[in-house]
């Protein structure tokens, strides 16, 4: 039977995947349609989502970092289509790693250090606070901030901020110092893949670029904490997410971690 979804795709994309079996992945929150093939992944977004920076970064990262390689990128009047290689492995939030934090936490630290090790002098995408606060301001002004999955104490009568606008003003007035590194941009556990006991690669590179080093630490720390504390269902007891800092060999800067978690509330 003819697959209507595949038939609706641009020829440049369809020729690589026609007749092949796939599943649809809906674990993310981006609103994109993700088709998973054995060795390829197709990401379909509407024109309001811009994957062009991700394409630049994936092409630039070839040979530098284990990340998807771009096979084809096509735009039409309504959608963008990004076909890339598939990184194999288990998500680092897999049940096995949740039950073996002594294996997981050193691997998460290794993933962060892999990003830091990349020379950024000719990196094509910069995502510093000027650009990120500008994007956040646009989202606040246009009413497109979704507060439904924010931390419980961020907004509302009993929260730290009345609404996204008040949070934005606080972020603008309390910018931390800047330590530029290569940043994944959304370094949560599902985006770090492990195979044979080691980091096999990174996925979802849509926010990758030069940014402050504490941004990735903050996203990884929050994801680690939430995957253990029952936010996503199961509670894994006896785990100390602060061990991540020990594995990184740094003292935690909780003010910066707090800042970048709050900034992410607007995205």
Q: Was 200 annotated as part of a binding site?
A: no
**Dmax of the chain from CA atoms?**
58
Contact 215, 116 (CB under 8 A): no
Question: Which residue, among 14, 11, 13, 50, has the nearest Cα to 30 in the 3D structure?
Answer: 50
**Catalytic residue list contains 186:** yes
DSSP state for residue 126 in the 8-state scheme: B
Q: DSSP letters along 130-159, please?
A: HHHHHHHHHHHHTT----TTS-TTTBSTTS
Which position among 25, 76, 122, 186 bears the catalytic label?
Answer: 186
Cα first-last separation, the chain: 40
Q: Was 204 annotated as part of a binding site?
A: yes
DSSP state for residue 29 in the 8-state scheme: S
Burial group, residue 263, by CB count within 10 angstroms (0-12, 13-18, 19+): buried
Task: Please state the residue numbers annotated as binding site for Mg(2+).
Answer: 191, 204
Hey, which residues are catalytic here?
Answer: 186
């Amino acid at each position: 039977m003819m697959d209507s979804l595949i038939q609706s795709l641009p020829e440049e994309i369809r020729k690589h995947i026609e007749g092949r079996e796939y599943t649809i992945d809906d674990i993310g929150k981006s609103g994109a349609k993700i088709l998973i093939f054995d060795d390829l992944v197709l990401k379909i977004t509407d024109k309001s989502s811009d994957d062009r920076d991700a394409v630049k970064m994936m092409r630039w990262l070839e040979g530098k970092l284990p990340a998807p390689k771009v096979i084809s990128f096509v735009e039409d009047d309504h959608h963008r289509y990004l076909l890339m290689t598939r990184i194999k492995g288990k998500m680092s939030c897999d049940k096995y790693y949740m039950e073996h934090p002594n294996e997981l936490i050193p691997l998460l630290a290794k993933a962060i250090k892999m990003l830091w090790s990349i020379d950024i002098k000719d990196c094509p995408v910069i995502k510093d606070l000027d650009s990120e606060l500008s994007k956040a301001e646009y989202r606040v002004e246009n009413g497109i901030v979704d507060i439904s999955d924010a931390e419980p104490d961020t907004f509302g009568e009993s929260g730290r901020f009345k609404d996204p606008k008040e949070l934005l003003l606080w972020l603008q007035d309390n910018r931390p110092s800047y330590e530029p590194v290569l940043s994944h941009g959304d370094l949560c556990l599902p985006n770090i893949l492990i195979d044979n006991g080691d980091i096999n690669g990174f996925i979802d590179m849509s926010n990758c670029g030069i940014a402050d080093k504490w941004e990735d630490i903050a996203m990884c720390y929050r994801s680690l904490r939430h995957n253990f504390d029952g936010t996503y269902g199961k509670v894994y007891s006896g785990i100390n997410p602060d061990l991540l800092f020990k594995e990184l060999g740094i003292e935690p800067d909780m003010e910066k971690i707090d800042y970048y978690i709050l900034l992410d509330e607007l995205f």
